Amino acid sequence: MSKVASALRTLCAITLASAITPAFADRKEPPESSWEYYLANCKRMQEKIADVQSGRIPSAYEVIGDLENSLRSINQRRSNLTPQYLGSREFAQCENVAAQAEATIAQGNAQFAARMNQAAEQGRIAHQNSPEYKRARSLGYSDVGDISFLKLHEDMDGEARLKTMLITVDEICGQHFRATQYVKPYVIYTVRPSDGGCGEEKRVAIVGGRSVEKGDYIDERGEFQYVGWKKLVGADGFPTDIRVLKARR
């Protein structure tokens, strides 16, 4: 499994764990019960912090969910404690543990951010060393992108940069585009959510491409330049906005 996938899986686990909390707010419990829960969560935090400090758990971000749950529980129950508990030595010790837990959470978040930044940098380097990127640069384009991820490219880099990119047909979804309509001089290509790894319906209009028949697949070796949005007449006869690409000859 890649470092990015592993980090993302860990983040999902942390998020799920954080969502599982005791339903204390919906009921009133006796102070002695609140004290027992308070101490139990304090002990749990101590154990998780010790695991990180000893190296039994290699990264602090792996215990973020547990620590946040325990902190949430003791914060809920602190207001229900009577003076005899609030003035005890155990309470003072647990408050110190809570501060350590908050510091460990901050440490974990920093570790996770560092790992994600490292993975992103490794991905950027791998992308710039790819044959596709090098070809795009040799042709005068700023970058190379996938035809099925035009929206993602625009969201990340903006439409102005998208127009400077060489657009190619990706294997995940792009190669499943099929000609569905001709609106002179544009050929509209469409993919369904179930096609390949598309996951959603996508449409694109191409001008200047090869001659095709309805149902033909897009040229897998095709190279295009993004033009922008254009309003064309759809299959139902009504105008519709669609992204336009110009085939590179």
Spatial separation of the C-alpha atoms in residues 84 and 147, rounded to whole Å: 67
The per-residue pLDDT for range 76-116, each reduced to its tens digit, is: 999 999 999 999 999 999 999 999 999 999 999 999 999 99
Torsion of CA 115, 120, 124, 129, to 10 degrees: 50
The H or E element that residue 115 is part of is helix 89-128
Q: Which residue has the tokens 């990119």?
A: 165
Query: What are the Cα distances from residue 38, in Å, to 75, 90, 105, 125?
Result: 9, 10, 19, 48
Closest C-alpha among 21, 97, 9 to residue 61: 9
pLDDT at 186: 95
The CA R_g of the chain, rounded to the nearest whole Å, is 28
User: pTM for the full model?
Assistant: 0.67
Q: Tell me what pLDDT residue 249 has.
A: 73
pLDDT of res. 11: 42
User: What pLDDT does 27 receive?
Assistant: 59
Report residues of the chain scoring pLDDT below 70.
1-27
* Residue 28 pLDDT: 79
pLDDT of 108 reads: 96
